Structure 1
Amino acid sequence: MHGDIGKGTQPVAVVTGATGGLGAQICRTLAAAGYRIAAGYRSSADAALALVETLPGSGHCALAAPVTDSAALARLAADIGERHGRCDVLVNCAGTTRFVAHDDLDGLDDALIDDVLATNVRGPFAMVRALRPLLAKSDAPGGGVVVNISSIAAQTAMGSNVIYCASKAALDNLTKSLARALSPGIRVVSVSPGLVDTEFVKSMDAAWRDEQASRTPLGRLAQPEEIAQAVLAAARDLRFTTGCVLPVDGGRPLR
């Protein structure tokens, strides 16, 4: 562990999308580093509770965090306030998409567009809006931190569909705007993975996965642990870093 991560008491991290492959690993990594985890879920309460039971350390909980429901997020913030009195780290990991070929404009229907933008862009903003007072109360070195989980698709404009790519570009822009708006007490950083080798990705066509790896200068896909370590570094170690995008993509844009 690199130095002190709080003053006297365990720091608190709220992670949305905690039951996904990447979200769960972020929870495990932060818990191992000494954070108390609030594992946020939309509908997978049982999975979130099971995850919390496996986390190292103590003081963890599973809480409903449907990021498209601002009223529910206000209740989440009230619960975090009652339990802990502050929030040191918010990880916006909840996201959604569906594979639609970029040239299939009709396949990208309005309902999917609205769902992707509401979840991937409005959701992180709503989480920050709800937890801002608690983030401002953080006594961790460097202050409160928001880590938005973005994607290299924001830069390459290649991904599961056109709107998904646009949503991640918007998220990176939101990171910069919020970093300016919330300074100096709250830092905001995007962590931008390349394709991550989660169980979902491993279930896909092996030839496609191999092709994606071959397009990456480092010759492989990202591991969930590597993304989680970048989140931990942004939250704990990079105390003079805000309003930027941290790529964890194996150099993918170079090809």
Structure 2
Amino acid sequence: MTITADLAGKRALVTGGASGIGFAAARLLAQCGAAVAVNHLADDPRGDDAAGQLRADGATALAVAGDVSDPGDAARMVGEAVEALGGLDILINNAGTPGAREPIAFSDLDAMTEEFWSKLISTNLIGPFRCVKAAAPALKASRGVVVSTASIAGLGKAGSSLAYAASKAGLVNLTRNLAQALAPEVRVNAVAPGLTRTPWTDVWPQERKDRSVANTMLQRMVEPEDIAETMLFLCAQGAITGQTVVVDCGRLG
């Protein structure tokens, strides 16, 4: 069963919307009637493809290139999306990076270079702040909502690296503080996925995924659609703010 809601007339921006969780969120919002701006990196052709798929399904959708890790580019991208949509009701802060193709053991401190830290913090933590700051006037005007993609790595579970876990822990804290800063006009929440089937995890050895799945109550990976449906709930429900909702198939217990 797919969760649904009436989002007719709503305008949404999904960062990192070209694949994985971001595309699942963009598609579900569009299916519920929202006009959707799909953000993607300028050199990623999947952004135009994703927006095209949504339009082929009858939705109003456009692609907006931009890098949330770049202060000027992030603000420009949000402004372009708001102008094209004629306002903004929903901001999905999904753009993020693990910074590496494979998980890095927390004990490997040498891998946590200044450059690595800078990339992850700028993308995963300051990036969402940049987008919220740029979108705040439009979101306040519409009494809108922000939903960010955090991670159970930010809640004490091992993530793809020490720096990644720290960036997501910061995002959990930022979510709560932005909810206070933008209240009462704007609600701000986050979703914390567990191991999710995405292009990043698709290439993992099956035994690594099996080990993680064995530690969940539901004995399966999280699907991008699971996260998208939780994001939709947080967009449609009007009394939840400052919260991070765990969606991990029972990994945290």
TM-score range, shorter chain: over 0.9
1:93 maps to what in 2?
94
**Identity of matched residues, %:** 35
- Judged with a 3 Å threshold, the aligned counterparts in structure 2 of structure 1 residues 253 and 82 are, in CA distance, closer, same or farther, namely closer
1:79 maps to what in 2?
80
Contact 1:45 1:62 in 2 (8 A): no
1:125 maps to what in 2?
129
Contact 2:10 2:33 in 1 (8 A): yes
Kindly report which structure 2 residues correspond to 1:41-120, keeping only aligned pairs within 5 A, or say none: 41-55=40-54, 56-97=57-98, 98=100, 99-120=103-124
- Alpha-carbon displacement from aligned partner over 1:69-104 (angstroms, at most 9, x marks no partner): 222233223323332331111011111112221101
Contact 1:19 1:44 in 2 (8 A): no
After superposing on structure 2, the runs of 4+ consecutive aligned residues of structure 1 that deviate more than 4 Å are 1-4
* Cα distance in 2 for residues equivalent to 1:235 and 1:62: 21
- Alpha-carbon displacement from aligned partner over 1:15-68 (angstroms, at most 9, x marks no partner): 111123111111111111111110011234421111111113332110022102
Letter in 2 for 1:68: S
1:240 maps to what in 2?
239
Contact 1:157 1:166 in 2 (8 A): no
Query: What TM-score comes out, normalization by structure 1 length?
Result: 0.91
Contact 1:90 1:147 in 2 (8 A): yes
Letter in 2 for 1:251: G
* Cα distance in 1 for residues equivalent to 2:151 and 2:222: 12
1:173 maps to what in 2?
173
- Alpha-carbon displacement from aligned partner over 1:117-146 (angstroms, at most 9, x marks no partner): 0000000000000111111122xxxx3000
Aligned length: 246
Q: Secondary structure at the match of 1:220?
A: coil
2:3 aligned with 1:5, yes or no? no
- Alpha-carbon displacement from aligned partner over 1:146-189 (angstroms, at most 9, x marks no partner): 00100011112401111101111100000000000100110000
Bigger mean CA deviation after superposition, 63-72 or 213-222:
63-72
- Judged with a 3 Å threshold, the aligned counterparts in structure 2 of structure 1 residues 3 and 197 are, in CA distance, closer, same or farther, namely closer
- Mark the runs of 5 or more structure 1 residues left unpaired by the alignment: none
* Cα distance in 2 for residues equivalent to 1:132 and 1:228: 22
- Judged with a 3 Å threshold, the aligned counterparts in structure 2 of structure 1 residues 44 and 25 are, in CA distance, closer, same or farther, namely farther
Query: What TM-score comes out, normalization by structure 2 length?
Result: 0.92
- Judged with a 3 Å threshold, the aligned counterparts in structure 2 of structure 1 residues 77 and 154 are, in CA distance, closer, same or farther, namely closer
